């Protein structure tokens, strides 16, 4: 297999699951879960995998990039997809890592593969709406009705998200427009990172916004597991300037058993990008 080359796994139900493989083929296996919108192209520095001796696998969740949609999917539905991927690659023991909206899927797989997991790390991750104090109110008056609709009419909610995302589908670069805390503004214009971020969001939305809609609906609905069921010792990272995820971080730092929280005081929601090496190294500890 050539590093950084697209690969496609045909799942049992016929869907395509696209992925990429980074780092030495004999490195310690790590499966990474991108944010939303996001894709298998999210890799701030491919050299880090080599430096750490990691075989990093990134993949497109259904509806993103080159992976076929799986309409009505729940967070737990990521588990069989990842199980098929790691079995296809011949991995016995694996580490799991994810960012932002990829966090719930990371933890769902960590729970399901507890006897195979060697380390787990998440960054800038939202917590369950029903468990984090003030989470529903924090969605805001524009998003909250669509999230509430997802509980009773998920397909109507899906259509609403697709309509809302259309401007970004038409011009993916507009998703990275200036805005947010100073740390995030700096990351989005940094020439070391911007090409990767632009490629990632463009690939995520190449086929439209169905992946984004399904990801949000899965997040807004119950996840199907409790934080206390996640394996002990999850590394939880948060940017001090990330106002979107502060209450979520407080919950995640306390809810999973023996969670190991870290705050990056000078980072925002995109903190994982400049902290990529530190983040991946944490699963080796």
* Average pLDDT score over the chain: 95
pLDDT at 3: 57
CA distance 238 to 275: 11
Structural domain includes residue 129: yes
Q: Residue 187's domain is classified under what CATH number?
A: 3.40.50.1820
Q: What is the DSSP letter of 228?
A: G
Domain range for 270 is 7-284
Helix (H, G, I), strand (E, B) or coil at 28: strand
Q: What is the pLDDT of residues 183-202, one digit of tens each?
A: 999 999 999 999 999 999 99
Count of the separate structural domains present in the chain:
1
Confidence of residue 1 (pLDDT cuts 50, 70, 90): very low
Structural domain includes residue 184: yes
Structural domain includes residue 2: no
Q: What is the pLDDT of residues 69-109, one digit of tens each?
A: 999 999 999 999 999 999 999 999 999 999 999 999 999 99
Q: What is the pLDDT of residues 29-71, one digit of tens each?
A: 999 999 999 999 999 999 999 999 999 999 999 999 999 999 9
Structural domain includes residue 101: yes
- Pick from 53, 75, 65: which is nearest to 16 by CA? 65
pLDDT at 285: 83
Evaluate if pTM is beyond 0.85.
Answer: yes
Q: What is the pLDDT of residues 11-32, one digit of tens each?
A: 999 999 999 999 999 999 999 9
Say whether pLDDT at 4 is over 90. Answer: no
Q: What is the DSSP letter of 61?
A: P
Which two structure tokens, joined as six digits, stand for 189?
A: 């214009």
Structural domain includes residue 93: yes
Structural domain includes residue 116: yes
């Amino acid at each position: 297999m050539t590093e950084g080359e697209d690969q496609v796994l045909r799942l049992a139900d016929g869907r395509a699951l696209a992925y990429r493989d980074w780092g030495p083929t004999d490195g310690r296996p790590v499966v990474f879960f991108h944010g939303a919108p996001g894709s298998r192209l999210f890799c701030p520095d491919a050299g880090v995998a080599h430096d750490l001796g990691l075989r990093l696998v990134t993949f497109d969740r259904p509806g993103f990039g080159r992976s076929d949609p799986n309409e009505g999917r729940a967070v737990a539905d990521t588990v069989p997809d990842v199980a098929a991927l790691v079995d296809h690659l011949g991995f016995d023991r694996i580490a799991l890592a994810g960012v932002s909206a990829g966090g719930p899927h990371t933890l769902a797989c960590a729970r399901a593969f507890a006897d195979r997991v060697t380390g787990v790390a998440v960054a800038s991750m939202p917590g369950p709406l029903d468990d984090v104090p003030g989470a529903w109110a924090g969605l805001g008056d524009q998003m909250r009705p669509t999230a509430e609709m997802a509980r009773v009419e998920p397909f109507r909610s899906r259509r609403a998200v697709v309509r809302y995302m259309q401007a970004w589908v038409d011009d993916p670069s507009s998703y990275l427009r200036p805005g947010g805390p100073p740390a995030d503004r700096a990351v989005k214009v940094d020439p070391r990172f911007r090409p990767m971020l632009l490629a990632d969001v463009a690939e995520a939305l190449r086929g439209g916004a169905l992946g984004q809609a399904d990801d949000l609906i899965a997040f807004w609905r119950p996840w199907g597991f409790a934080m206390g069921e996640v394996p002990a010792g999850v590394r939880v990272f948060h940017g001090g300037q990330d106002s979107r995820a502060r209450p979520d971080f407080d919950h995640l730092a306390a809810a999973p058993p023996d969670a190991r929280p870290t705050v990056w005081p000078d980072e925002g929601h995109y903190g994982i990008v400049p902290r990529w090496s530190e983040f991946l190294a944490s699963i080796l500890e």
